[in-house]
Amino acid sequence: MHLKIVQAGDPVLREPARPLTPAEIASAEIQQLIELMRETMRDAPGVGLAAPQIGLPLQLAVIEDVAEVEATERRPVPFHVVVNPRLALGPESVDFFEGCLSVEGFQAVVCRARAVSVEALDHRGTPVKLEARGWYARILQHEIDHLNGTLYIDRMRSRTFSTARNAARYSAGVPIPELLAKLDPQRTPSS
């Protein structure tokens, strides 16, 4: 069974999600929800899915990435759950394209911290500390944004907003700084 992924415009995507207690996390209901979210994320396919994206304002996200792409510092990340996360951003930022299962069919360049530290609870309610770089750091920031009512379109470099098809057609292989200079010559890549 797969859950329905809500799309931009649904109010649940703009609400801060509520934290879960350790007892709630351990409940059969939340454990079943985690499994359904995993199946839904994999089927979409995606690398992360936050509970607000399936209509539930809960501070719960699932993450898994099987790809490896050197240029984006992307490495495989095993399946895991983050609950009630607290995010600390590293000082260096990097621009890259992002998409979202709740903004289906579109992409844009988003500036994100290259490295992050996250304190959260895992699928058992046990405290964990995650250190992430590159694409994994981007995934964590994106999913945690969902838990705070923020979409990537709130952070995007608006002149890069495109259909996924056109992003692949016109931007594939173009270095992000070059693309930003071409699309928005008034703005520097770090501004």
Active site residues: 143
Provide CB contacts within 8 A for 49, sequence distance 6+: 5, 37, 40, 41, 61, 62, 101, 143
- Helix, strand, coil shares of the chain, percent, nearest 5, are 35, 30, 35
| The two structure tokens encoding residue 120 | 């959260």
Alpha-carbon span 114 to 133, nearest angstrom: 6
Query: Strand 48-50's sheet: what is its strand order?
Result: 48-50, 60-65, 77-89, 115-121, 127-133
